[in-house]
Amino acid sequence: MTIPEGDDPATLVSTDWLAARLTSPDLRVLDASWYLPDAGRDPLADYGDAHIPGARFVALDEVSDGRSALPHMAPPLEKFMSRMRRIGVGDGHMVVIYDGAGLFSAARLWWLFRLFGQRAAVLDGGLPKWVAEGRPVTADLPQIRDRHMTPAPQPHLMRDVTEVAQIAKLGQAEIVDARAAARFRGDAAEPRPGLRAGHIPGARSLPFGQLLNKDGTMKPASGLRAAFQTAGVDLDRPVITTCGSGVTAAILNLALARLGHADHALYDGSWAEWGMYPDLKIATGDA
């Protein structure tokens, strides 16, 4: 069943939707900005300079599994709940997540909320669209009170390397890679040292930018569906998303949720894990 176009507090909301509710006591706005190292940006410093009024900052590394050698792995439930409680996010809140790139890392935090059974939405176009429209920003920090959150874990939304290897071998699902096409083909070196170049055998290439408009907003349902179909993805089958380190793959999951796709999961280790192990097969080229 396809979700109707427009604002949906479980997936994506517009700047108009957020502006109309900005003073609601039940609203929690989260800045989940994160950038690749070559971007030269400090998301916490940017937040300190200007953020949407009332927004709390969430560093992705602080809601990741610090025990893992892999980047951005999903944290234990207790760590996620503790972090949310400390920034005053809990039961009954409308949660809206944005980032400073438009629609990039916010989707990762949105996916973590889903993984732990919580509803949240991504702000379509993020902070750039909000600012471009002349909407308010501030450097003032919000007052925070602890808030209890009741977890309802959804482990089926995440796949590990063993599961993905089995699924790839048997062709049990569509595996969709959000990295740039050159990295998928193996034509470009991986930014992380020691990783092989290429992709999971049988995977389809759908760079996340193909799901976005030029202004950083997400395409309408018709455009999302067309992008998946052009990539050769059968949306009647289960889908597993992957990318470099599990961040941009979540944009694909957000798009699938917008399309009402009922069976999609994220490979959390992504290429940072798969590309590291020589005993896992890789493919190069377009297929």
Q: What are the catalytic residues?
A: 243
* Among 198, 192, 196, CA closest to 277: 196
Residue ranges in 50-125 assigned as alpha helix (H)? 77-86, 106-115
User: Percent helix, strand, coil in the chain (nearest 5)?
Assistant: 35, 15, 55
* Distance separating alpha carbons of residues 35 and 94, to the nearest angstrom: 25
DSSP 8-state assignment for residue 203: -
Position of tokens 């694909």? Answer: 252
Kindly provide the residue ranges of all beta strands, DSSP E only, lying in the chain, ordered along the sequence: 12-13, 27-31, 56-57, 94-98, 121-123, 158-159, 174-177, 204-205, 239-242, 264-267
